[in-house]
């Protein structure tokens, strides 16, 4: 099985689209994406663990987990600020 790219993860695309359409969601993501990379990675890892423990939908966990990547976070931040 080949690993999917972020562009193939529908839940990630939906999360970014929702942030572009909803100012509150956008602000939450902006706050996360504005953190220094090590802090953002730690926050995302903790959030993923918490969501997994709470049995949150796998698609939500997968979408948020994408933001642990510096490249993905940087691109998402760029898209949100267009």
* Domain layout of the chain by residue ranges: 6-80
pLDDT in tens, 2-11: 677 888 899 9
Q: Which tokens go with 62?
A: 């997968």
Per-residue pLDDT tens for 28-65? 999 999 999 999 999 999 999 999 999 999 999 999 99
CB 19 within 8 A of CB 68: no
């Amino acid at each position: 099985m080949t690993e999917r790219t972020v562009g193939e993860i529908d839940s990630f695309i939906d999360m970014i689209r929702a942030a572009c359409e909803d100012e509150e969601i956008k602000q939450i993501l902006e706050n996360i994406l504005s953190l220094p990379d090590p802090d953002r990675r730690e926050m995302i890892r903790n959030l993923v663990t918490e969501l997994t423990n709470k049995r949150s939908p796998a698609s939500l966990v997968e979408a948020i987990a994408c933001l642990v990547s510096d490249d993905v976070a940087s691109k998402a931040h760029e898209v949100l600020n267009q």
